[in-house]
Amino acid sequence: MGGSKIIFTSFVTPMAALEDLVKSIKKKDIKGTYIFYGEEPFFIDYLADLITENALEESERSFCQNVFYGRDVNMASMRDLCMTVPMSFTANPRQLVVIREAQDCAKKMNILYRYLEKPLDSTILVLVFKNTKSLERKMPTKLATVFKSELLKEKDMPKWIQNEFKTAGYTIQTEAVQTIIEYSGTNLERIHNEIGKLIISHPAEKPITSQDIQQSFGIMKDYAIFDFTAALGEKNAKTIFKILDYYIKNEKVWPFELLVGILFPFFKTLYQIKLAQRIDKSMPNLAADIGMAPNSVWLLDKQQKYTNKYTLAQIENALTTLAEYDMRRKGMAGSTLSYRDILFEMILKIIS
C-alpha cells in the first residue's frame, strides 16, 4: 500500500512547504493521495493543475486520467475506481483521479474513507476543496499530503510578487511591486495572469519598473488607482468624483469588488499610522511591526500626510463602510442599488 508525507502549511509562515511541494511535483515525484483545501483558491488550483500536468505521460492520459466534479460524483463508483489497477502498457501502471469542487460532495466523502486508510500505489488521488476552512474531522489524512491554503496577508504580498518574478527569471523594483498591490490588491489569480503576459515581451535582463506594470496591467486608462487613493487621502472631492465618473463608465475594467479590495488596505494602513502617531512610534518601527520590508518605509511616509485629513473615528468609519457596502453589493444586506449609486453613496459616506 502506498502513501506520502503530510504537509500542513500556512502563509503566515514562510512558503517553504509550498515550494518543496511544487519542486517534488515538477520532478514528477507524485504518489498517493493529495488533499488541498483552504480559503485561498489560487494556490489550490495551481497545485491541482500542476499535478494534472505532471502526474502522467501524454500517452497515458487518455486511458488513465480521470477528472470529476463534486456535484456529479457517485462516491461508491469513485471508491471502486480508486481501488482498480489501471490497464497500461507500462511496467508500473498508474492512474490519476482528480475530484475538483470536492466540497460539493463532502457529505458523501465518508464512503471513500476506507480507501484513504489503505490507498493503492497505482492510484494518485487528488481531492480539491475550495473555500473550505477545515476538513471533516473523521477524514483519514495519515497517508495523504495535506495542504491548507490560507489567504495571503497584505504584509506577505510583496515577497510573493517578487518570488513570482524570480521564479520566471526576472527582477522587479520595489515601487513596481507596490504598483501591483495598489492596482490589484490581493487578487492572486489576476496578478499571476498579468505577470505571465508581461514577461512574454519583457527582456529578462531588464528589471521590471512601475511604468512597465502600469502599461502591461492596463492601469494607464486616464486614471490610475493611486490617483484615486491620493484624491481620497486629500479629500479632494472634485477629483474624487471626476475619477468615479470614469470608473462608472468603465465598470468592467473597474468592478466594485476590485475597488473595495484596494481601498480597504489603503484605509487600514492609515488606521495603523494614526495609532502609531498617538504613541510617537516612528514609521520604521511601524513598518517592522506590520511586517513591511525596511526598504518599503517610504510607502508609510507617503501615506502619513493623509492622516491629517482624517480623525481616527473617520478612518474607522471608512473601514466599516467599505465592509458594509461590500456585503450590500453581494446581496447580503438586501441592497438593490446600481453600481453607480452604491459607489457614490459609499464614497460620500467615507469622505463626509
DSSP 221: S
Q: Which residue has the cell 469588488?
A: 257
11-41: pLDDT as tens digits: 333 367 788 899 999 999 999 999 999 988 9
Q: Which CATH architecture has domain 153-220?
A: Orthogonal Bundle (1.10)
**123 — phi, psi (to 5°)?**
-110, 130
- Averaged pLDDT, 133-144: 92
- Averaged pLDDT, 292-314: 81
Instruction: Render 96-139 in DSSP notation, one character per residue.
Output: EEEEETGGGGGGGGGGGHHHHHS--TTEEEEEE--SBSS--TTS
Q: What confidence category does residue 295 fall into, taking pLDDT thresholds of 50, 70 and 90?
A: low
Instruction: Indicate the CATH number of 16-151 among 3.40.50.20, 3.40.50.2300, 3.10.450.50, 3.40.50.300.
Output: 3.40.50.300
Q: What confidence category does residue 216 fall into, taking pLDDT thresholds of 50, 70 and 90?
A: confident
The two most distant CA atoms of the chain are separated, in Å, by 73
Same fold? 153-220, 223-352: no
Residue 333 has pLDDT above 70, yes or no: no
CA R_g for the chain? 24
79-106: pLDDT as tens digits: 999 999 887 666 778 999 999 999 999 9
Any idea where the domains of the chain sit in the sequence? 16-151, 153-220, 223-352
Q: What confidence category does residue 1 fall into, taking pLDDT thresholds of 50, 70 and 90?
A: very low
CB 88 within 8 Å of CB 59:
no
The predicted structure's pLDDT at residue 10: 34
239-266: pLDDT as tens digits: 898 889 888 888 888 889 889 988 998 9
Angle in degrees, 0-180, between the axes of helices 256-278 and 225-234, rounded to the nearest 10: 40
DSSP 154: G
The reported pTM is: 0.61
The predicted structure's pLDDT at residue 34: 96
Domain 223-352 has CATH 1.20.272.10: yes
Give CA separation, 337 vs 231, 237, 345, in Å: 24, 22, 10
Half-sphere exposure of 8 (CA within 13 A, CB side): 5
Q: What is the mean pLDDT of the chain?
A: 85
